[in-house]
Amino acid sequence: EHAKRHGLSFLVYSEALATAISERYALLKDLRDAVVKDQIEIYLQPKVSLENGELIGFEALARWKHHSGSYIPPDQFITLAESCGLIGRLDENIMRRSCVALKALIEQGIHVPISVNVTGGDVVRPDYFERLEALFRELDVDSQLIELEITETQLIEEKAVICKQLDVLKKSGMKVNIDDFGTGYSSLAYLSSLALSTLKIDRSFVWRMADSEKDWQILKMIIDLAQVLGLSVIAEGIETDIQRQNLIDLGCQQGQGYLFARPMPLEQVISWVEGYSGSLGRTQ
């Protein structure tokens, strides 16, 4: 009797598993197709000065509209792309699109940097910097206006080689942001050895700071740490004015989040900037 029940549950389980596997396989096939055909687009989310709302930059975020009509969340397809060796190509496409967007914005008089999320495993490839430079040359883009975002977790995973690569990037004038800071386990010694420019506080801290004194203190420590390390600091995921005020009180001057603007396609960004009441980082 027990064995029978056991056998039945195994059967149900394996059917569910088979469905999950074939769904994943289908999605993977679609993803490969979308990457090869360069169909994954970018949205741009403004970064602003928390005190006066001044536009200080954008972050480029990948957006994949599946042929079924729905958008697949980046957390899902980025992970998938990482697991099957597609991420290098995807990130390259996103970088190219970001450069094109940067030029379009400059043409509109909007002269601020765009930061691009990249995967640590690609940044450490020996030809990474050369390829990046070749792209900037081809598109005639100022490398100082493209920043990189690498998550804290990936900086740790690539610990053995990334230090040198970051030095090379810094010498070229590029800025590197450590993304989702506070969710990894980097040591202070490691952090201070890296040629970083900006520490980006993970949104979970922004959301929790009002609930507990402890989280408030942790956030304060992170902001102070950035100052000690000589890094600028930016907070992500700001949704309320209270969060904005609290961050200012703690000494964080830059942020991004739905309170200011959601990620938007380029055309919408241009009209958003036109109607935006914060002071703007325009040329001239």
Binding-site ranges for ligand C2E (CB under 6 A): 45, 61-62, 73-75, 78, 91, 94, 117-119, 149, 179-180, 236-239, 256-258, 263
Q: Is the dihedral of CA 188, 189, 190, 195 positive or negative?
A: positive
Nearest-angstrom CA–CA distance, 127 and 282: 34
Closer to ligand C2E by CB, 10 or 39: give it: 39
Does position 152 interact with Mg ion (CB under 5 A)? The reply is: no
Nearest-angstrom CA–CA distance, 232 and 207: 20
By beta-carbon distance, which residue lies closest to ligand C2E?
257
Q: Which of 97, 98, 179, 254 binds Mg ion (CB under 5 A)?
A: 179
Nearest distance from residue 121's CB to ligand C2E, in Å? 10
Closer to Mg ion by CB, 158 or 179: give it: 179
Q: Which does 94 bind (CB under 5 to 8 A by kind): ligand C2E, Mg ion, none?
A: ligand C2E
Place of tokens 């590197």: 176
Does position 117 interact with Mg ion (CB under 5 A)? The reply is: yes
Measure CA of the first residue to CA of the last residue in the chain; give whole Å. 82
Question: Rg (Cα) of the chain, in Å, rounded?
Answer: 21
By beta-carbon distance, which residue lies closest to Mg ion?
149
Strand, coil or helix: 126: coil
- Residue partners of 25: CB distance under 8 A and separation at least 6: none
Binding residues vs Mg ion (CB under 5 A): 117, 149, 179-180, 236
